[in-house]
Structure 1
Amino acid sequence: MNNKTRILSIDIMRGLTLFLMLFVNDLYEPVVPKWLIHAKANEDGMGLADWVFPGFLFMVGMAIPFAFLSRQKKGDSNFQILIHTMVRTLSLLLIGIFMVNIHRLNPELTGISTYAWAIWVYISIFLIWNNYPSQNKYRTFFISLKILGWIGLVIAAYIFKAGTSTSPEWMITSWWGILGLIGWGYFAAAITYLITKKKIAYVVVIWLGFIALNIFSQLQMLNFLNPIKPVFGVLIDGNVPAITLCGLVVGMLLKSYKTDFKKLQIILIPFGVIVLILGFILRIWFIISKIQGTPSWAMLCNGISILVFCLLFFIIDQKLINKWTFIFKPAGQNSLTTYLAPDVIYYLIWSFGLPILFYKQDHSAILAIFGALIWAAVMIGFAALLSKIHIKLKL
C-alpha cells in the first residue's frame, strides 16, 4: 500500500454514511420496508436508518488522530489544538440548538413563517462558518460577511418565540439536535485523545468507562445527576461518547499500523467481532434501541462500523480499487455542507409548494425508495458544486 498521509477509505466511509443519512432521512416511511427505517422506541431491533448516524459518529472519532496530526504538522501546540476543539464543539452545539428549535417556532408569535426563519438561520450559518478563500484583497469583505452572519443569527434568536400567546417560550437545548450530538461526541473523543497523550490503553479505559456510564444511566442509577443533565446529559448518558471513542480507538490503531495491513486486519476484524458479541450480550438486559440509546445498540453499531471500515480499507487503500470512490469522496471531504445544504433546499421547496418531492406517496415503495436515492445523490452533487464556488463549511 502507498505510504500516504491521507487514508481515502476514511473519507469514503464518511461520505457513504452521509449519503445513507440523506437517503433514510428522505424516505417516506409509511410505504417503505421496515428494515430501511428507524425502529420504534420500545421495539427491540434496528433498521438501516438506526446504524447511519452512529456510523458517522464512529468516523468522527476515527478521524481525530489524523486531524490532530495535520494540525501539529502545521505548527499548532496542544493548547492551540485544545482551543480549536472547544471552538469547534461550541459551534456544533450552537448550530444544533438552532436546528432543534426550528419545528418549535410559533409563526404567529415570531412574526415570520417557520420556513423563512429556518432559511434565515441557515444563510447566517453559511455566512459565519464558510471556508472563505485566503485572498488578502477580499479579506475585509469576507470578515464583513461573517459579521453579517452573526448579526443574522442574533436577530433570529431574538425574535424566536415558541409556545402560546399566554405561555410564550424561547429556544431550548432539548436533545441538542444531530449536530449537537456530534459536537458532544467530538468533544469527548478529542479531549480524551489530548489528556491521554495518545496512549491507546488509557483511551480504551475511558471508552469502557463511557460504556459503563451508558449502562448505569439505562439502569436509572445516575438520576442524582439530573440537575446538570440539561447541559451535560449527553456525556452523562455515555451512549454517544461510547460510539465516538470506539472510532477513536480504531483511528489510533489505523494510525499505528496503516502501512502493515495484515497486522491491522489481525487486530481489527476480531475487535469488530468482539464488539458485536458484546452488543448481543448486553441485549440480555437492554433492548436494541436507538431512540433509547441503549448500550446494546451502541455496541452493535460499533461492531458493524469496524467491519465495514475494514472492508473499505481493504478494497480502497490496500487493493487500490478506488475509481468508484468519486461518488462519495466530495461528501466525505465536505461533510458539514453536505449535511446542511439539503435542508435549505427542503425549506425552499416547502415554502413555494414546488412539486419536486412527488415520490413521497402511499402507493409505491419502489418510487419512494428510488426517489430518496436520487435525492441523496443529487444533494451530494449539490454540495460538491457549492464547494467548487467556494461555499464550504468548516469548523
Structure 2
Amino acid sequence: MNKTTPKGPKKDPELESPVSADPQKSKRLLSIDALRGFDMLLIAGGGTFLVLLKGKTGIAALDWVANQLTHPAWNGFTFYDFIFPLFLFIAGVSLTFSLNKGRSLGLSKATLYRKTFIRMLILILLGILYKNAPITFFEPQQIRLGSVLGRIGLATFVSTLLFLNLDFTKRLLTGLGILLLYYAALYLIPVPGYGAGDLSIEGNLVGWFDRTFLPGRLLQGNYDELGLLTQFPALCLTLFGTLAGEILGRAWLDHRKIKYLAIAGIAVGLLWSLHFPINKHLWTSSFILLTTGMAFLFLLIFYLIIDVWKIRKWAFFFQVIGLNSLTVYFAYSFINFNYTSEKLFGGLYAPLPEGWQEVFQAFGAFLLVWIFLYILYRLKIFVKV
C-alpha cells in the first residue's frame, strides 16, 4: 500500500475507476465513484446513525429504513445484504476500464496477470490484518483468514483472467455456469451426519467445508460467510460487473442491454429463491442474481443522472467517499471517531435523553469521517493498492 500526492486526481484505492475528481476536465465517469461512495456511506457511519434512530422518531418510514440496515438471521433479504455485493460488482465495472487502459498502453497479458495477482496478495494480507488486529501471532488458531478485502482481491484476479480471455457472452455463460454448479453442489453433495440438500445453519455444505478445510477462527463458529466455497458465487458479482463495464465502455450506454440484464437477474433470482432460498450467509445463487440485477439498476440510475443528464452537484458528497474507499474502510477500524465525536460535540447533545445522545454521537463521528476524507481529497491524497 502506498500513498501518493499527484498533480492531478488519481485512481481510487480499490480498483481503477473511470472517474475524475474534476469531471469538467475528464471524460472519465463520475457516476462510478459516486456509486462506490454511496455504497461506502453505509459502512462509514451512515448506516449506524440511521439504525440508532429506530423507534425514536415515531416515523414509520425511518423505522423501516433502520430495519433494512440489519442482516437477517439466516434466510431472507434486506437492503444491507446488498452493500458488499454492490461493492464487488463495482470492482468488476472499474476493472474493465483498468484492463482496457493497460492494454491500450501495450501491457501484455502476463504483465496484467502479475499486477492483479500481486494486488490480490496485498489485499488478502490487509484483510487478515483488518479482521484480526491486534493479530494473535502466538495463537494462530484464533486468526480469521476470511475477509472482505481478500474476497475482493480474489474476485478481481479471477475476473481479470476471464476478461482477458473470454468475450462478453462467454463470461456471462461462465458466471451462470458457476452459479448452477454451486447450486448443484449444495443440493447433491452429502454432508456427514446431515445428508445432501440440507441448507440449515448446522447441516449445509458450506459450513462443513469451512470446518474441515479452513484453518483458523470461523466468524460464525460453525461456518464463515467469507470462507472457502462462497468465494465461487461471490466472484460472479465481479465477473458480471465486467459486463456492465464493457457496456459503458464500448456502447457508452446501451439501455436495452443493461435493462434486460437487470430485469433478468432480479426475476430469475426471485423465482429461483422459491427453491434455493436467498441467503447472504451462504451466498446462494438466487442471492447473487438478485443483487446483480439490483447493481445493474443502481449503476444505470447513477449513470443516467450524473453522466447523461449532467446533474452532478449532489454526487460530490459521495465522490469524496468513493475516491478513498480503502482509507475509510481502514480508518473506522484504527481510528476511534466515536470518541472524538463525543469529545468535540458531547457538550451540545448532553441535555438530550441518553438514547438520542448515541444518535448524535454517531452522526458526529460520520461527519468527522467525511471531513477527514474531504481534507485528503483537497490535498489530492488517495490511498490505493
Which runs of no fewer than 5 residues in structure 1 stay unpaired? 103-116, 118-156, 162-167
Give the RMSD, CA atoms, in angstroms: 3.5
* 1-structure distance, mates of 2:160, 2:137: 33
Displacement, 1:208? 0.9
Percent sequence identity over aligned pairs: 24
Q: After superposition, where does 1:371-390 map in structure 2 within 5 Å?
A: 372=362, 375-389=365-379
Which runs of no fewer than 5 residues in structure 2 stay unpaired? 1-23, 55-62, 191-204, 216-225
* 1-structure distance, mates of 2:344, 2:40: 25
The amino acid of 1:242's aligned partner reads C
1:26 aligns with 2:16: no
* 2-structure distance, mates of 1:9, 1:311: 9
- Match in the other structure for 1:363: 355
* 2-structure distance, mates of 1:211, 1:24: 32
- Match in the other structure for 2:221: none
1:179 aligns with 2:171: no
Q: After superposition, where does 1:123-272 map in structure 2 within 5 Å?
A: 160-161=137-138, 168-170=139-141, 172-174=143-145, 176-196=146-166, 199-219=167-187, 221=189, 226=209, 230=214, 234=228, 237-258=231-252, 261=253, 264-272=254-262
The amino acid of 2:214's aligned partner reads P
Displacement, 1:28? 8.1
Displacement, 1:31? 6.4
* 2-structure distance, mates of 1:266, 1:3: 29
Q: Is the 8 A contact 2:113 2:157 kept in 1?
A: no
* 2-structure distance, mates of 1:387, 1:323: 16
* 1-structure distance, mates of 2:266, 2:359: 29
CA 1:353–1:12 in structure 2 vs 1: closer, same or farther (change >3 Å)?
closer
Q: Is the 8 A contact 1:160 1:170 kept in 2?
A: no
| Structure with higher helix content | 1
- Match in the other structure for 2:313: 323
- Aligned length in residues: 323
CA 1:273–1:50 in structure 2 vs 1: closer, same or farther (change >3 Å)?
same
Q: After superposition, where does 1:327-342 map in structure 2 within 5 Å?
A: 327-342=317-332
Displacement, 1:362? 7.4
* 2-structure distance, mates of 1:82, 1:76: 10
* 1-structure distance, mates of 2:369, 2:187: 41
CA 1:15–1:281 in structure 2 vs 1: closer, same or farther (change >3 Å)?
same
* 2-structure distance, mates of 1:61, 1:72: 16
* 1-structure distance, mates of 2:255, 2:109: 31
TM-score, normalised via structure 2 length: 0.72
CA 1:287–1:230 in structure 2 vs 1: closer, same or farther (change >3 Å)?
same
- Match in the other structure for 2:267: 277
Displacement, 1:206? 1.4
SS at match of 2:43: helix
SS at match of 1:70: helix
1:39 aligns with 2:61: no
TM-score, normalised via structure 1 length: 0.71
